[in-house]
Each structure stands twice: as C-alpha cells, then as structure tokens.
C-alpha cells in the first residue's frame, strides 16, 4: 500500500472544502494513495474528519453479507411483457448543473427566482387587474386589492391581531390580519418565507387583510390512471450498513418480487421500484455513528446495496434518489449519487427531481424539510407525515422555511413545485403515510431500518418493512408488510 501526503492545493482547486479538523489531519499525516483519490473524487460539499476516518477504515476487509433470494420457477410476471416507459425531466434535476459560488448575488438570484415562479402560480389563479405590488400599494386607498408577497416576520399585536412584515421585488409592507376575519383562522399556518396572496385594503401605512391564499393546486384535478396494469413499488431509508438494517425483512421483499411469497399477482405487476433516499447509513452523519454501524466503509455499504439490487428481476426498473445519509452533498438540491459508488443497473437521479413513469408525473424528494415543517407549524407530527407533505404541496415549495434545512442558493430554485405532480413521494421520517389531495397521491414510504436509540429517546415510532405498491390502472394503493414473516 503506497502512502502519500495529500496535496491540499489540488483539493482546493477541485472546489472541495475541508473542515478544520480534516485539514489539520491531512496536513500532518500521510494516507494511502487509494484514499487520497477517493477524496479528490468526492462530490460532497465538505470533507470532514469523520469521512476521512471512514475512508481509512476501507482498508480493512469487512465482509458484506448479500441478501439471499429465492426465485419461483413457475412465476409468470405480467410486467415482464412490457418495456419500461420512464423518463427524467432534466430541468428538475441539479445533477451536473450546480453553479453556486456562495456570493451575495447567488442568494439574491435564488430568492428572486423562487418569488417569480411561485408568484406566477398565484397570478394564474387570480384576476390580474386586482393584483398590486408593494410600491403600487402605497398609492391605493379604499379599494380592495390583492398583494402577493413573501413573509419575512410574523408576530401578534397587543390587540390580538397578527402583524406580518412582507416584501416583494419592489419593496416592503406591513400586513395586519384582524382576529375577527376568516384569514385569522388560517394565519397560524403562515410560515416564514411563505409566498402568499393577501386580499384587503390599504389604510395608514398598513395593509388590512381579511383573506389569504397559498399557491395550492387546482380543484378540478382528478387522480390520473394508466392503460397498462402495472405496479410501482415505493421504498426509502434502507440504511444498508446499519446494525438496525432489517436484512431478513428486505430479503422477504426481494423474494416477493421474485414470486416466491404471497400475493404473487400483485408482485407480477411490479415494473418499477423507486428508492427515495438514504440507501445506506453513511459515515459521520451524526456523533458516534460508528457505534451503530456493522460496516464502517461507505464503499462497502454501497456494495451491499448493489448486491441486493442484483437480486431484483431484470425487467424491473429501479430509480434511486439520494438522502441526507448518502454520499452526496448534505445541502439541497442534492445531485445523483456518483456512479463510482453504485455500479448496479439503477437509474440514478437527484433530490428533488421529476420523473414520468407510464405517463404519471412523479415528484421525488427525500423529505429532509419535513423536520422544519413539523416543528414550525402547530398540529403536525411525525405520526402523520402525509399532513406535513400536504402543507409543502400547498406552498408549491419543498423547503419553504429558508435556513432550517441546508439549501444551496442556486440561480434556479430546484425546490419550487412548478408542475402539479400525480404522485409526490418522500421518505426521511421512517413512517408510512398517504393521502390523495386534488388528484395528487402524497406518499411516504417508511423504512427498512428498525427503531433506533434516538427514535426511542424522542418517542418516535417508525413503521418498518411496509412497502406501498400502486396499481396504476386502477389507482389502488396496496401496503405490503414484510415484518414478522
């Protein structure tokens, strides 16, 4: 094994940023040439000391146990008769397009792009002649108008009303929502950075609003179905490499796909599997994570994932997006997991992204912002993730509260929900949940990781080993449990 001294200038030239601890370690120590090359090829926003430790541990020979599989010789899957009908909507995926430099101009362009595109959705739902800007508002007296603006501050007044500071591209305004209006009942759902249409009148430097509207999606939409009677299986948060990974239960899932367990007719319809992030448990994601890992090498964790994917029938298309545990930058939007890590026949996409499957528009997003939505709005909980997903959909933005969830200020805001999805698929919270709202299926696909010590401490109850399967011709959603077999 050849040891080398890391060329810190070369690392910097490749726009790889080292944390202080990582920089100090590389400055003082030699590492193997193999580890050095892995650092140079890293697609992470920052390289941490924990990540380097994980790479160094890859020198150890750690066995990876492949998922066992049993194929049924008399299984005649219906989905095998058809070729895949899948395409990525390229403009929705950040992969290979990131151009952020971290300058003030990037933040300005990012928020301007967000405001333009979300306010455009609102304008399409309203009469244009009633809409005014903050600049025009100062000249309007008495007549009822609509103001589209972003909320920057929210607080109660002494009289029990709600006072908002808002802004648009032309300036700022103060909006008062009186406690005796219909708008007041909705005001508890207003989040910072929300882009909202306020109906009301201007009076003495204050805009008095009695109604408000989020971008939403149209009422008239109905659930879309397909001609071909195929199935789409949705999974997320597999966490290969974790001591809590449910290997036996995941093997049951793969055996089911191969026709060797119950409900074979439904298994035979499955043409697609969508994995919505956290394929592996990762390295250095949180303090002392190594105590909860059975495999402490990120490359070998992905080898475990690859080994499992090889057991899936070859007529099934697997689509995989990254999550916060995967080996891509932590900040969103996240690019696709690099091909050097995943070598199996899997379609790799970014998070978020839009894909069209059998004509059904899918919005895929790991769901990291669910934490901030649940914390920032009363009445939401991890027990019903679909309700938090609904609030995200209504705002037409996947991470409306800027700052709570790491976001790279790209010139184009990839988190805007520009088109109404037929299916919005998330993970992250390890809890199955679903609802249909105005023709959109909101779906959280749970996990294949057992309850962690952290989840026990905070009282969170995941629902592992349950796979939602959508029959696209009928629109029926099945939940297949692989626990307790």
Mean pLDDT (the chain, rounded): 90
Report the 10 Å Cβ neighbour count for 359: 13
Query: Has residue 450 been placed in a domain?
Result: yes
- The pLDDT of residue 56 is 78
- 250 and 209 in one domain? no
Q: What are the tens digits of pLDDT across the range 119-131?
A: 999 998 776 668 8
**70 part of a folded domain:** no
Q: Is the pLDDT of residue 152 over 80?
A: yes
Residues 473 and 447 in one domain: yes
Q: Are residues 42 and 184 in the same domain?
A: no
Kindly state whether residue 351 falls inside one of the protein's structural domains.
yes
Number of alpha helices (DSSP H) and beta strands (DSSP E) in the chain: 13, 22
- Please indicate, yes or no, if residue 290 is contained in any of the structural domains: yes
Q: Residues 299, 274, 485, CA angle at the centre, nearest 5°?
A: 85
Task: Name residue 147's beta-bridge partners.
Answer: 132, 198
Q: Are 206 and 224 in the same domain?
A: no
Residues 337 and 465 placed together within one structural domain of the fold: yes
Residue 341 included in any domain: yes
Of 362 and 44, which is predicted with more confidence? 362
pLDDT in tens, 72-92: 778 889 999 999 999 999 999
Same domain as 477, residue 331: yes
Judge whether 371 lies within some domain: yes
* Average pLDDT of the segment spanning 310-325: 96
Calpha distance 27→5 (Å, rounded)? 8
Check pLDDT > 70 for residue 282.
yes
Average pLDDT, stretch 406-420?
Answer: 95
- pLDDT-based confidence at residue 190 (cuts at 50, 70, 90): very high
Strand partners, 150: 167, 195
Domain of 175: which CATH number? Answer: 2.40.50.140
Q: Report the domain count for the chain.
A: 3
Residue 108's Cβ-side half-sphere holds a number of Cα atoms within 13 Å equal to 4
**Structural domain range at position 187:** 126-213
Over residues 289-300, the pLDDT tens digits come to 888 899 999 999
Q: pLDDT for 321-356, tens place per residue?
A: 999 999 999 999 999 999 999 999 999 999 999 999
Please give the pLDDT value at position 47. Answer: 82
Give 250's pLDDT tier (boundaries 50, 70, 90).
Answer: very high
């Amino acid at each position: 094994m050849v040891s080398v001294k890391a060329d810190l200038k070369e690392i910097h030239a490749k726009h790889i940023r080292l944390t202080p601890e990582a920089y100090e370690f590389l400055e003082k120590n030699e590492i193997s040439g193999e580890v050095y090359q892995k650092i140079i090829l890293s697609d992470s926003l920052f390289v941490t000391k924990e990540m380097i430790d994980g790479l160094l541990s890859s020198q150890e020979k750690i066995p990876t146990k492949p998922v066992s599989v049993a194929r049924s010789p008399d299984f005649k899957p219906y989905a095998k008769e058809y070729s895949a009908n899948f395409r990525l909507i390229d403009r929705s995926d950040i992969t290979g397009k990131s151009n952020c430099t971290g300058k003030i101009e990037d933040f300005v362009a990012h928020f301007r792009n967000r405001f333009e595109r979300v306010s455009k959705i609102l304008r399409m739902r309203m009469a244009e002649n009633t809409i005014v800007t903050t600049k025009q508002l100062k000249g309007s007296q008495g007549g009822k108008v609509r103001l589209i603006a972003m909320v920057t501050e929210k607080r109660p007044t002494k009289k029990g009303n709600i006072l908002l500071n808002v802004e648009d591209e032309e300036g700022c305004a103060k909006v008062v929502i009186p406690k005796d209006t219909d708008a007041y009942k909705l005001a508890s759902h207003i989040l910072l950075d929300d882009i909202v249409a306020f109906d009301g009148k201007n009076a003495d430097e204050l805009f008095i609003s009695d109604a408000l509207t989020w971008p939403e999606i149209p009422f008239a939409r109905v659930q879309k179905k397909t001609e071909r009677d195929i199935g789409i299986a949705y999974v997320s948060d597999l966490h290969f490499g974790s001591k809590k990974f449910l290997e036996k239960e995941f093997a049951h899932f793969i055996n089911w796909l191969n026709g060797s367990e119950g409900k074979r007719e439904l298994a035979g319809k499955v043409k697609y599997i969508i994995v919505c992030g956290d394929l592996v448990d990762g390295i250095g994601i949180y303090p002392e994570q190594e105590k909860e890992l059975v495999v402490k090498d990120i490359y070998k964790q992905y080898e475990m994932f690859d080994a499992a994917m090889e057991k899936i029938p070859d007529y099934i298309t697997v689509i995989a997006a990254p999550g916060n545990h995967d080996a891509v930058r932590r900040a969103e939007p996240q690019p696709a997991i690099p091909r050097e890590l995943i070598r199996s026949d899997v379609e790799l996409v970014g998070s978020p992204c839009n894909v069209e499957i059998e004509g059904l528009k899918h919005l895929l997003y790991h769901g990291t912002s669910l934490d901030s939505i649940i914390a920032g709005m009363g009445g939401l909980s991890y027990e019903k993730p679909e309700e938090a997903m609904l609030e995200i959909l209504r705002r037409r933005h996947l991470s409306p509260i800027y700052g709570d969830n790491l976001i790279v200020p790209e010139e184009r805001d990839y988190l805007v929900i520009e088109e109404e999805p037929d299916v919005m698929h998330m993970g992250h919270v390890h809890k199955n949940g679903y609802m249909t709202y105005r023709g959109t299926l909101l779906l959280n696909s749970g996990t294949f990781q057992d309850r962690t010590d952290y989840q026990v401490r905070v009282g969170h109850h995941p629902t592992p080993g349950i796979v939602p399967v959508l029959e696209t011709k009928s629109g029926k959603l099945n939940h297949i449990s692989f626990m307790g077999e």
